[in-house]
Chain A
Amino acid sequence: MKTETDKLVNNYVKEVKKHLPDWIKNNAEKLEDIMLEINSHIWDSAQEIANSEDPEPKFVQEAINRLGSPKEMARSYKKRGTPKYFISEELWSIYSNVNWIVGIIVFLVIATVQVVVIEPNNLVQALINGITLSFPTIMTFLMVITWIFVGLSHEGYYPEDLDPDKKADKEKDPKSKFYKPEEFLFSGLVGALFGLLIIIIPIDMINLFRIIVNFILDLLGRNTVAMRSEVVGLSVELQIWLTIIGILAILSGIINLAKIGTSEPGYQFKMNILLIFTGIADFVVAAYILANIHLLAEVIPLSDTVLFLLALLGVIGSLIDLATKVYKNTQLYGIMEDESFPVYS
């Protein structure tokens, strides 16, 4: 009988745990506390209902029913924070700061391209272009950031729950090695921004890339006349491949942003599978470029040997990236298999 009642209680506690928000699940001490209070409450309640020290399963079940469904129970732990529109007041200042920072970065990148590459002799026009072009990109990011913060507020996050420096907790929980929201946010935003820019303004991006390469080659004293020229048009083939690269970058960015949602190993595993697919696609693109080196020559007019080496590096890099993703996901799968729940008696 004891085993049966223990099983009932542990199953309930396990289900509640599954539905708890990540700011609790990522804090081993908090999680243990909650599991303990629910567990001891069920036993106190069951003993009173049964009027016995060793209640029968039906009394334990009644005590569990009184607490409500695991989902409801977990939901009540999420009710934290002061409502302010759809984003809590506690998260509002971070939300506002992130929007400002992203907005400024997007504007600076686009405006720099306009000032340095497109309209170097007409500052006013360059700034007008910068504002016009950055507006839709900033709006897209505003929507993505708002969606993330509405989700975080709904889950009851406080600013300190987003603190990446909770080392003590991280050491206790092996899952946290695979859940780094700040890293996902950064990779997601950078990936999506890069993808959007390479699709919207491919020529400007190539010219900006050339300026950076020129600067490095100047420092090395190896610059060529060809490298100093500006790109004014692209072949259809290169445009198609740049669009494919852009779409892949946006997809990876969106997957990384979606990974912020929850640290649940099962969810992270599925998201990583999607990232592995984008990794395979990246490898295919890199291999295609290696086989069609003229595409790279359109971007940077260097000698065939240098271009071949660069393309080869691209292929090796994408392979290493793919292998790392597969390896990490295998480890995550191991954690999913080993995951155990505390058992109280």
Chain B
Amino acid sequence: MIGKIEGSDTSVLEQSSAHRDFLKKFESDLLRGIGRLNILKVIQNYGKKGVYGYQLLKDLEEDTNKMLIIKEGTLYPLLRNLENWGSGENRLSLIQSYKEIEDDRMRKYYYLTEEGEKVLSHLEGFFLKLLESIAGINDFQIFLNEDKYIFCPNCKTRIDYSDSDVKFCEICGNKLNFNSKEDNK
């Protein structure tokens, strides 16, 4: 899915194809999920108006300092997969699309569904908490902006702190305590 990671020079390992293959596969596995998460995030940034495919690619490239570049040919099947994930009863629709003519050209716009918003909150929370948990081992720091967000203590879904109407986590149903941030850590 990921085209290339700029700044990562694997040529020094070219003497060993095993190293090269391992790194290629490892990076691809690692970035597959992160890529999807960030695609959903970019789509969310455009609200209900949504974003068309090419703009989505450009945003992703620019907002990630050209670290996360999706191969152009794989974007649309990926969007299709997010629009219609699974089959039969196990179906999810995280994004939806509509067609609109702009500048004399028909384009397809993608926007996040209500279900997609919830799933994204969970994925973001889970990913950030995961980064926080591995920060010590890997010697880096992470700022979770806990003045603005709380994280479900059970499933790690990220919830906007200002939205104090929310009493339960929408993903796992766990009761949230907005008065004590420590309880929700």
Task: List the interface of chain A (C-beta within 8 A of B).
Answer: 33-34, 36-38, 40-41, 43-45, 48, 66-68, 72-73, 76-77, 79-80, 90, 158-160, 344
Q: A76 and B73 in contact (CB under 8 A), knowing A40-B52, A43-B105?
A: yes
Give the tally of cross-chain contacts (CB within 8 A): 57
Bound complex: CA A66 to CA B57 (Å)? 13
Residues of B within 8 A of A77 (CB): 76-77, 80
Output the least CB separation between A75 and chain B (Å).
Answer: 9
B167 within 8 Å of A (CB atoms): no
- 28 residue pairs of the A-B complex, CB under 8 angstroms, read A33-B97, A37-B76, A37-B108, A38-B76, A40-B52, A40-B53, A40-B106, A40-B108, A41-B54, A41-B72, A41-B76, A43-B105, A44-B53, A45-B54, A48-B58, A66-B72, A67-B72, A67-B73, A68-B72, A73-B73, A76-B73, A77-B77, A77-B80, A90-B88, A158-B87, A159-B87, A160-B88, A344-B106
Which range contains the number of B residues in contact with the other chain? 20 to 34
Output the least CB separation between A52 and chain B (Å).
Answer: 13
Bound complex: CA A73 to CA B71 (Å)? 10
CB atoms of A45 and B72 under 8 A apart? yes
Residue from B71, B73, B106 having most chain A Cβ neighbours under 10 A: B73
Residues of B within 8 A of A66 (CB): 72
CB atoms of A36 and B73 under 8 A apart? no
10 shortest A-B CB distances, which residue pairs? A44-B54, A68-B73, A158-B87, A76-B77, A73-B73, A67-B73, A77-B77, A76-B74, A40-B107, A37-B76
Output the least CB separation between A344 and chain B (Å).
Answer: 7
Bound complex: CA A336 to CA B37 (Å)? 43
Bound complex: CA A33 to CA B97 (Å)? 10
